[in-house]
Amino acid sequence: MSSRSFKSIYYHIVFRTKLNEPYLKDRELRNQVWHFIENKCKRHNFFLHKIGGIENHIHLLIYIPPKTSISEAVKLIKGSSSYFVNKELGGDDILYWQNGYGVLTLSPKNVPFIKQYIENQEEHHKNKTIYNGLEECEDENILEATKTIR
């Protein structure tokens, strides 16, 4: 018997910009932030399955190793990405995130649905085909989301 453990936990994490301001309205800036987050995740051994969002929020489908808490991972991603935009890019763009976040755990069978949902964020918002529970960070909406994707 092996002493190694196997863990397969998928998280769908959503967080918004402060006051829902459209800090990420510029597509080029958004792409730079996504790329930065992808690299940050790699450096910390998080497996980022998908990243997406629109001008005022971000979705992550991610695996976080058990040694790192979800709150630590989100704090790292949010803090480093806002620092990257506000200090390292040195332009006029600013980025502030809200204090909280929403998180759902997913079974492997729901991963393709969430991946596609994240990939098509702009279309969902444009066509108003969003799932509120997958967009919000409020407790009651997260509970509703679990019913939606089952």
**Residue 5 is assigned to a structural domain of this protein:** no
Q: Which two tokens stand for residue 90?
A: 């040195």
**Residue 4 is assigned to a structural domain of this protein:** no
Range in 27-36, 103-112, 114-123 the model is least confident about: 114-123
Please tell me the total count of domains within the chain.
1
For residue range 49-78, what is the model confidence (pLDDT) as tens digits?
Answer: 999 998 999 999 999 998 999 999 999 999
H/E segment holding residue 14: strand 10-16
Q: Residue 41 belongs to a domain with what CATH number?
A: 3.30.70.1290
Order of strands across the sheet that contains 47-54: 47-54, 57-63, 10-16, 102-106
Give the separation between CA 117 and CA 130, rounded to whole angstroms.
Answer: 9
* pTM over the 0.95 mark: no
- The domain in which residue 87 lies consists of 10-148
Instruction: Calculate ∠ Cα 105-110-114, nearest 5°.
Output: 85
**Residue 44 is assigned to a structural domain of this protein:** yes
